[in-house]
Amino acid sequence: MKDPKDVTILIVDDETALRKALIFDFKRRGFQVLDAGNGKDAFELVKSGKVDIVLTDVRMPGGDGVELLDRVKERNPTVPVVMFITGFADLALEDAYDKGADAVFAKPFDRKSLIGTVINAVGSKEEIWGAKKVERVNVDFKIELQFSGLDHAVQGRVLNIGRGGIFVALTESFPR
- Please state the domain extents for the chain: 4-128
pLDDT, one tens digit per residue, over 13-31 is 999 999 999 999 999 999 9
pLDDT, one tens digit per residue, over 35-76 is 999 999 999 999 987 898 899 888 888 888 888 888 988 888
| Residue 44 CA from chain centroid, whole number | 20
Answer for the pair 121, 129: CB distance below 8 angstroms, yes or no.
no
What is the edge-to-edge ordering of all strands in the sheet holding 32-36? 32-36, 8-12, 53-56, 81-85, 103-106
pLDDT, one tens digit per residue, over 111-132 is 888 888 888 888 766 655 565 5
In CATH, the architecture of 4-128 is 3-Layer(aba) Sandwich (3.40)
Predicted pLDDT at 174: 62
Query: Using alpha carbons only, what angle is made at residue 126 by residues 160 and 100, rounded to the nearest 5 degrees?
Result: 40
State how far the alpha carbon of 167 is from the alpha carbons of 56, 118, 159, 160, 164, in Å. 27, 22, 6, 5, 10
Answer for the pair 70, 40: CB distance below 8 angstroms, yes or no.
no
